[in-house]
Structure 1
């Protein structure tokens, strides 16, 4: 049983993620300790409470993911939440529990409010990884699940003296899903290319022929951009130190290479050029598959052998075309809904960040005005000095006006920088989603092609069996006729 999570903010984005039905086969809210039946509004209220404690992360989000071999009962889910709550020290806090089911596998998300209303303080989240593993270990023993090794409380230091590190990170796992190659397979492929090359230029030509784009990273290192748009560190993929990788690529002009962003754009353009339109099937129309009426029945066995593959009957081809078109339209609608949901979440997230910056800047301006106002004896002395020395007062006013202008200018730059950053984040998130959609469409088209081949082979096999049955029937009929002819004629009656 694996438990992961931590403190966070972003109530709207979290609520939208928990309520997604496009990526989950099933979504059910098991618990919601709130006066309203709305996850987004509840999380927003819990986050607002944290502002009274001067805290920034008013939510604690965690997910419990048992092994797929074990079916959890509702009582076991409730027990898991109870044990984890006690280990984290969040007992008594309002919470929400959401069940997700994906590909027949269930896991739950729990979100707690960290603000203690009695003391108006935030419940501590220190040593939360230890708490996760203690709860996981306790639940595995209680439910009889197989023990999953960990890094902290579930680590046997006698048998596992070195700190365990995953061979593949979560980001690398997602990259492997997008590319269709596991991390080990990709690194083996690149290692084989390197061993066959004696220079950096030869390696550059080899990887680009394979479908990668060699680019320059943000630092001095080289990076590879895969056909699906994922960015890989060259030294990490080749299991070399950074200095060794630079020495191997010394004959490649790094400044002449494209940036990682430009390389990703090149890969997207290649994918678009290599792919047909989104709703166009990768096959000729059904009318082109069907033979002309006057030529039906004239296809000989020799023609079938020359074609290289059996053809579908017109009725079967038409039925397959209709079903494939319906499935393609269904996938396209799903993609459209997922893209619309992502855009909605990104808009809410951007609006929340912009509103936060606006409130922060307004407070800064009010503090500037408040600091410039002197009251009491200090104000009286300041006014008297300005009257006795008008030049000094004018100089102070000019300094204050200049500082005010600088404040406004700096805040305008901050707002512009935030908007630019939000636009870049939005473009990257949408590009990644579209890349995943394109890969799913390619997988669907490949599945359609395999299905058409299978149907054609089954049809040809059935036709051969029918012909064999007919031949056997004619042979049996012929033998029966020959047997009757060989029988002696009946004797005449006396």
Structure 2
């Protein structure tokens, strides 16, 4: 029994993930405690119900995938959810979900609200270990010959004995799972996302870093060997980082250590990596990012049809391409707009404010170094075609309307 979970904010993207057409079939579950008819509406409702809780991650997305050796897939899933809800005290909590069939395997996704009616948030401490324990019980009860390997096997056996399930604990021990070497995933979930985003296989990166390590005897030689392989070494927040061709940083101690462990089973200690690199003076990672980006932009403009640097009149520029620039007398805060557009944009927001706020704003704008042009424009707005009740004036002695606000023509 394989299970996985992720806590998050919810949203339409999660609902669309559960409805992905790449599955052979998708069967939307009957929700609990929700009134919406479609899955997107149900997930939105889960989020809305959780607004009173003191958490910014109010939903818990969980899936369970029974092993093909279990013939009663539906029964195994029902048993898992019963154990899971009892373990986390989720009985009665609203949820939505779907059952997928993909490549012939039937598995189920559920999205739970983590906020109780009292506003308390469900405790998910050690959730991976607790879900693994539920999975082992299901495997035992549904006749699997041996449990799914887990790096938490010894801790699961201990917890099972404390809970009075000596039968399941003895079955796990008899299978040898508590004595086996702990399985290590090739990639962590975060590393898998980085590999997908950058397109750089982490195994190749590890192999290159290890080759540079073995080909060197000190920090300077290691840096040179990395550069020969298209990599670089910078100073990161947690220590030296190896930078790949996309500019993505990988912690050097972790990269070299994991590469050595996968190569011969012996990890190079982080202290050894730090000691070799201790004498290097490295540039901080990201220190030249802005300059590199500007150089890249200039190169792209030069290589484009009709490329070349643009001046204020647009000479040599790309047809149809606008480049932000400052108007005469403009400031960095103008964002490339002329003074008039800047005044009109700010004025439209000022006019909508209460008159007391407009007065305070005008006084601030008239201060030395402020935008007097905007202050004069605000004054002009005050004096345009007002309708007033005789005898009523504002703090400046100007007539106002019965509702206490200037009426614009």
TM-score, with length taken from structure 2: 0.51
Matches within 5 A, 1:193-272: 193-211=212-230, 213-219=231-237, 221-227=239-245, 230-239=248-257, 240=268, 244-249=272-277, 252-255=280-283
User: Is 1:143 equivalent to 2:145 in the alignment?
Assistant: no
Aligned to 1:43, the other structure's residue is in SS state helix
State which structure, 1 or 2, has the greater radius of gyration over its C-alpha atoms: 1
Tell me how large the CA RMSD over aligned residues is: 4.5
Q: 1:209 to 1:122 in 2, by over 3 A?
A: closer
Q: 1:64 to 1:251 in 2, by over 3 A?
A: same
**Deviation for aligned residue 1:246:** 4.6
Aligned to 1:45, the other structure's residue is in SS state helix
Q: Deviations over 1:329-360 (max 9, x none)?
A: xxxxxxxxxxxxxxxxxxxxxxxxxxxxxxxx
- CA distance in 1: counterparts of 2:288 and 2:238, whole angstroms: 13
- CA distance in 2: counterparts of 1:21 and 1:48, whole angstroms: 27
- Number of the residue aligned with 2:343: none
Q: Deviations over 1:387-406 (max 9, x none)?
A: xxxxxxxxxxx9xxx9xxxx
- Number of the residue aligned with 2:390: none
Matches within 5 A, 1:282-321: none
Q: Does structure 2 retain, via aligned residues, the 8 Å contact 1:100–1:107?
A: yes
- CA distance in 1: counterparts of 2:54 and 2:122, whole angstroms: 13
Aligned to 1:140, the other structure's residue is in SS state helix
Aligned to 2:226, the other structure's residue is in SS state helix
- CA distance in 1: counterparts of 2:73 and 2:87, whole angstroms: 21
**Deviation for aligned residue 1:109:** 1.5
Q: Using CA pairs below 8 Å that are at least 6 residues apart, which structure has the higher relative contact order?
A: 1
**Deviation for aligned residue 1:7:** 4.6
User: Is 1:154 equivalent to 2:156 in the alignment?
Assistant: yes
More helix by share: 1
Residues matched between the structures, number? 268
Q: Does structure 2 retain, via aligned residues, the 8 Å contact 1:214–1:222?
A: no
Q: Does structure 2 retain, via aligned residues, the 8 Å contact 1:223–1:260?
A: no
- Number of the residue aligned with 2:335: none
Aligned to 2:90, the other structure's residue is in SS state coil
**Deviation for aligned residue 1:112:** 1.9
Aligned to 1:191, the other structure's residue is in SS state helix
Unaligned runs of 5+ in 2: 160-172, 258-267, 301-359, 365-409
Q: Does structure 2 retain, via aligned residues, the 8 Å contact 1:179–1:227?
A: no
TM-score, with length taken from structure 1: 0.44
Aligned to 1:32, the other structure's residue is in SS state coil
- Number of the residue aligned with 2:210: 191
Q: Deviations over 1:423-456 (max 9, x none)?
A: xxxxxxxxxxxxxxxxxxxxxxxxxxxxxxxxxx
Unaligned runs of 5+ in 1: 273-397, 403-494
